[in-house]
Structure 1
Amino acid sequence: MRRYRWWFGGLALVFVAIILGVFVFSGSESQQGQPVTDRDGPPGTGPLTIVALGDSTASGEGAGNYTADTSGLNGNWCHRSPNAAVYQTKVSGIDARVDLACSGAPAAQVALGETKQWTEPSQAQQLAEIVKTHRVAAVVVAVGANDDPHFSAAVTDCFKAWFNPTGPPCSDQLRTVWKQRVDAMVPKVANAVGDVKKVLADAGYIPADYQLVVQSYAAPIGPGIPENLRNLNGCPFRTEDLQWVVRDGVPALSAGIRQAAVQSGARFLDLSRAGAGHEACSGGADPAKEWFSRLTLQLKDLGQIDRASHALQESFHPNANGHAELGRCLTEFLGTSKGNAACLPGPDGKLHSAPEVVAN
């Protein structure tokens, strides 16, 4: 994988539009997971399994090593990676992990229905097939950013604003519409989670058989970027726009997803601060410290018409290190059976599950 050098600046202008659909990263105290006396876990046969549903945050976008069938084959660009967070979980008793998430997926494709994403049908319907051969102990859903908030387009607008330093920052316009967009997203996410519950209920599951988790998104970029990386060689964004992403945009998006989790009776895992100090470009000369990919161009894809429009798809997503940390936090969260939590960097420099604190 190679990143832009300054002499590729012209290419960036050509491919700005590519980013429009690819820069997406992805409750109430439920009694799910509580032991009961008359059942021995999920019904059916097969291994105890955790299933991931949603968009790029869950598919493993940015983590590399994508499965051949989801890396452009026959138009499928779901970009599922064996490095995705779900595969990094190590929950006691869980024997299998299944990733049905698809990069760029809206809530409607997670829900039951006819909506497809990169040729793939409903993820809830795919889950209905999984429960025939697996005993599903946990379902983790990460979706919503590709709906009304259009977080990918928001990041693209901020990218464009960097190219036009005499114009207004992207955040000037975004802050006037962001809450309205997030509010419109909430029922769509709640509906998708409701369909996941319906699939499991139709398969004979009761709430105590499994944990249902809705997670939010981490901010992939932040204002602590060295000036020498605030360009096409790293993270081309204006400081005021980076501040909006971290202080306003991602927290508001997370609050909306929490609301959807409450409405659908799922547990909520807040990732809004998960990347603090480890955002793209925050490591300066040492990108190994970062948990998110910088502006990334797959040069080999530019020479193929069917792949060129996806050459920037990995940019500003959790990288393999980031997915490993998210997997660690998710493991700790699933080790408890009720309540909500937030993924926060700990004193050891790693990501951990911490009790949720909700501002009054």
Structure 2
Amino acid sequence: MRPSGWLVLFLVLVVATLGLAGDRLFPPPKALPGPPEDAPRVIVAMGDSTISGEGAGDYERGTNGEKGDWCHRSPNASIHQVKLPDVVKAYNLACSGAPSAQVGLGKVEQYTERSQASQLARIAARDRVVAVVVASGANDDPSFSHVLDACVRAWLGEERSCSATVGPQWSRRINRMIPKVTSALRDIQTVMANAGYKRSDYQLVVQSYAAPVGPDVAHGLQDLSGCPFLSKDLRWVEKDAVPVLTAGVRKAANNVGARFLDLSRAGAGREACSSERNPRREWFRRLAVHWTDLQRDDRATHALQESFHPNAAGHEQFGRCLSEFLTTTDQAAACLSGHDGNLHAATSSD
């Protein structure tokens, strides 16, 4: 029996009504905006002092102690030395002393500055981010700068050698650091995904830390004029502390599928106090004291902040190596000195 015309009309109306209701109850997924196609192509640095530019001088206004902000971001920082085709700008969000929690999402602040990942979100929505470079972890459980302070106190005779006091617990500190850095890196990936970026739209590069000092201190510089460390501690920093820290950062990078740039041997032969006659050959600051800051209560506690960080020449070399790495498809590489005396990105698998 054929349905009447009225019944057919009724069924059509019911289907149409349900279709409209379905659109309201089950709306189609909203398309993510995606990276801005025609926006400027940019790169972004995130992390702590080793990438902010601490030690490189000429700090950006507002990051040199003004209103409590000691992030010490420098125009000489390695991210500003990177040269890539079509990249028109580098953003430096890194902050000296930043723990990984401030690099990621959340409410942790560093020197009055809020989450770096939340700052990245605004950049990713406005510009086309092609690479995010991260150096983080040393200010978590390793507390590397405080370890170096302990090494100096050991030289002064105030306590035992830092290799003896910190050395036995160093691996445990690094193991506690790894999940924190991993979490920060995942926050960065979340920010980029929320901005519509696929993993293939940008590079996420994690770089490790270079050894700022080594056992081959030039004659007359193993004191307060340069590098006041015990010889056993200098050997420990270069041979044990930095390699174990590097392995931990590499593990965090692998956990999220990020690319990894090993800087642990980047300063070999160019460490602080390695040259008696020509300090310009060195890529790291020696013990640095801002004497005028010692006379001001609001700056005195930061008067030695630049000590044993890469200087402008070091950052230039790190930026050179990073540029090479970003133009390759290698998952990992190490910055090593070449025959020309400059750093180059050498393929690394370990």
| TM-score, length basis structure 2 | 0.89
Q: Distance in 1 between matches of 2:332 and 2:124?
A: 26
Of 181, 192, 195, the match for 1:203: 195
Q: Distance in 1 between matches of 2:146 and 2:108?
A: 21
Call closer, same or farther: CA 1:312–1:335 in 2, change over 3 Å.
Answer: same
Aligned residues of 2:41 and 2:89 also touching (Cα < 8 A): yes
Amino acid at match of 2:87: I
Q: Measure how far apart 1:43 and its partner are.
A: 3.4
Unaligned runs of 5+ in 2: 1-33
Q: Measure how far apart 1:50 and its partner are.
A: 0.5
Compare 296-305 and 74-83 and name the one that shifted more: 296-305
Q: Measure how far apart 1:338 and its partner are.
A: 3.6
2:147 is matched with which residue?
154
Secondary structure at 1:299 match in 2? coil
**In the alignment, structure 1 residue 305 sits paired with structure 2 residue 302:** no
Q: Deviations over 1:28-77 (max 9, x none)?
A: xxxxxxxxxxxxx9435521011000000110000000011100111000
2:10 is matched with which residue?
none
Q: Deviations over 1:131-182 (max 9, x none)?
A: 12210000000000000011011111110110118x6422012221000000
Q: Distance in 2 between matches of 1:241 and 1:43?
A: 50
RMSD, aligned α-carbons: 1.2
Of 318, 322, 325, the match for 1:330: 322
2:346 is matched with which residue?
354
1:252 is matched with which residue?
244
Amino acid at match of 1:320: A
Aligned residues of 1:219 and 1:245 also touching (Cα < 8 A): yes
Aligned residues of 1:42 and 1:210 also touching (Cα < 8 A): no
1:23 is matched with which residue?
none
Aligned residues of 1:61 and 1:314 also touching (Cα < 8 A): yes
Aligned residues of 2:284 and 2:311 also touching (Cα < 8 A): yes
Unaligned runs of 5+ in 1: 1-40
Of 19, 44, 53, the match for 2:46: 53
Aligned residues of 1:43 and 1:204 also touching (Cα < 8 A): no
Of 72, 79, 83, the match for 2:76: 83
Aligned residues of 1:45 and 1:133 also touching (Cα < 8 A): no
1:108 is matched with which residue?
101
Runs of 4+, deviation exceeding 2 Å: 41-46
1:263-302 maps to which residues of 2 (within 5 A)?
Answer: 263-302=255-294
Q: Distance in 2 between matches of 1:133 and 1:44?
A: 10
Secondary structure at 2:129 match in 1? strand
Q: Measure how far apart 1:357 and its partner are.
A: 4.1
Secondary structure at 1:296 match in 2? coil
How many residues align? The count is 317
Aligned residues of 1:44 and 1:132 also touching (Cα < 8 A): no
Q: Distance in 1 between matches of 2:36 and 2:246?
A: 33
Secondary structure at 1:247 match in 2? helix
Of 337, 342, 347, the match for 1:345: 337
Percent identity for Structure 1 against Structure 2: 56
Aligned residues of 2:208 and 2:249 also touching (Cα < 8 A): yes
Of 180, 197, 214, the match for 2:206: 214
2:120 is matched with which residue?
127
- Greater length-normalized contact order (CA 8 Å, ≥ 6 residues apart): 1
Q: Measure how far apart 1:94 and its partner are.
A: 1.1
Amino acid at match of 2:92: D
1:321 is matched with which residue?
313
Q: Distance in 1 between matches of 2:292 and 2:125?
A: 40
Q: Distance in 1 between matches of 2:251 and 2:135?
A: 14
1:4 is matched with which residue?
none
2:55 is matched with which residue?
62
Amino acid at match of 1:218: A
| TM-score, length basis structure 1 | 0.86
Secondary structure at 1:139 match in 2? strand
